[in-house]
Amino acid sequence: MENIMMDILNTKETAAYLKVHVETIRRLARDGDIPAFKIGKDWRFDKEVLRRWIEGKRLNMPGNGHGT
């Protein structure tokens, strides 16, 4: 169980991981544009799910031969 919790990030940790502002993370989560879930009032993010989400975004970027 401890390993699972180490892979769950809060909003501030996610912002640091993605190198964006905390409010950007909150907006993306609220709008459903980033994989997230709430515990009470606080957003939480699974680091492995984020990693796969990022990879999916990279594959769909124009000019890389995979996107539109």
| Interval 14-64: pLDDT, tens | 999 999 999 999 999 999 999 999 999 999 999 999 999 999 988 887 776
Q: Which residue has the higher pLDDT, 7 or 65?
A: 7
The total number of structural domains in the chain stands at 1
Residue 67 in this model has a pLDDT that exceeds 80: no
6 domain-assigned: yes
The CA distances from residue 38 to 26, 51, 60, 65, in Å, are 11, 19, 27, 35
Q: Which residue has the higher pLDDT, 19 or 66?
A: 19
**Section 1-9 average pLDDT:** 71
67 domain-assigned: no
65 domain-assigned: no
Q: How many of the other CB atoms lie within 10 Å of CB of 11?
A: 18
23 domain-assigned: yes
Q: Give 3's pLDDT tier (boundaries 50, 70, 90).
A: low
Note down the domain range covering 11: 2-59
CATH number for position 25:
1.10.10
54 domain-assigned: yes
66 domain-assigned: no
